[in-house]
Amino acid sequence: MLIARHLREGSVHVASVVDDELVDLDTDHDDLPQLLAAGLNVEALATGTHTALSDAHLLAPVGAPPAILAVGLNYRAHAEEGGREVPTTPVIFTKHHNCIIGPGAGIHIPTIAPEKVDYEGELALVIGKRCRHVPRDRAREVIAGYTVMNDVSVRDWQRASPTMLMGKSWDTHGPMGPWMATSDSVDPHNLQLTTRVNGEIRQNSNTDDLIFDCFDIVHHLSSAFTLEAGTVIATGTPAGVGLYWDPPKMLVAGDEVSITIEGIGTLTNPVISEPDTQLL
């Protein structure tokens, strides 16, 4: 089952993706964290208004996650392309919630840091129930589903601090979508992942190259703290990021990034110059 969020007649709705339509869920919840925490039978709720996908204004499947966690250097080939040792413990960082945007929304090239903006196609998992101390062999039970994420990174700011937060959290630098595939519909550890920039293949790998798989990650994180329903965890990016091409292929305004993960879908976003803003 595929679950999407979309804007219809000025209101946000959660919907099931059925063929070439969205079928709204009969619920007052307009985001996945609350819906998942309520423990509702999502499939049974798909009885509402139908909207053609061609007419839909899709949003990120999780609009306000309680946390966005991410794993660095989690594909063997990616660690190797950067000349790094393969980690023996997951490398964890966070992204600020303001980074989230949906399909079709613009990725900003920051005015003050325009030269080192990079793409990272990733499989992201969504926690489905509040949990702590999850054994690896039961991690599947707490994962609601999987989506596509672009962990956009401002490399010079990322490398200026060991925590990586400031290089990973710029507004618009967390595209997510186009929807979430429920955990019973995909094998997260055997999915082809392809990132294209302006149609050119930049990343082409499979999640079987993950160093720490989705179940390892849930076990590791939940050992330290409670994971709330709706938490998004980006599982890492494969080889082929712009930084390590020779010469580097960083993002510029006018580019278009499309990330396809087998069994889930394609997330496409244009790259634009950061709009003029004023102090709020």
Domains, in order of start, for the chain: 2-59 (no CATH), 68-273 (3.90.850.10)
pLDDT per residue of the chain (280 residues) written in tens, 0 to 9? 999 999 999 999 999 999 999 999 999 999 999 999 999 888 899 999 999 999 999 999 999 999 999 999 999 989 888 888 889 999 999 999 999 999 999 999 999 999 999 999 999 999 999 999 999 999 999 999 999 999 999 999 999 998 999 999 999 999 999 999 999 999 999 999 999 999 999 999 999 999 999 999 999 999 999 999 999 999 999 999 999 999 999 999 999 999 999 999 999 999 999 998 766 6
Burial class of 163 by CB neighbour count within 10 A (0 to 12, 13 to 18, 19+): exposed
pLDDT score, position 180: 98
Report which of 90, 4, 81, 98 is spatially closest to residue 48, judged by C-alpha positions: 4
pLDDT score, position 272: 98
Query: In whole angstroms, what is the distance from residue 47 CA to residue 136 CA?
Result: 35
Contact (Cβ atoms closer than 8 angstroms) between residue 6 and residue 56: yes
Q: What tens digit of pLDDT does each residue of 175-223 get?
A: 999 999 999 999 999 999 999 999 999 999 999 999 999 999 999 999 9
What pairing do the DSSP bridges indicate for beta strands 232-234 and 68-72?
parallel
Phi, psi (deg, nearest 5) at residue 99: -75, -15
| Whether the model pTM is above 0.75 | yes
Number of helices and strands in the chain (H, E): 5, 19
Task: Tell me the CA end-to-end span of the chain in Å, nearest whole number.
Answer: 41
pLDDT score, position 83: 86
Contact (Cβ atoms closer than 8 angstroms) between residue 261 and residue 148: yes
Token pair belonging to 147: 């989506």
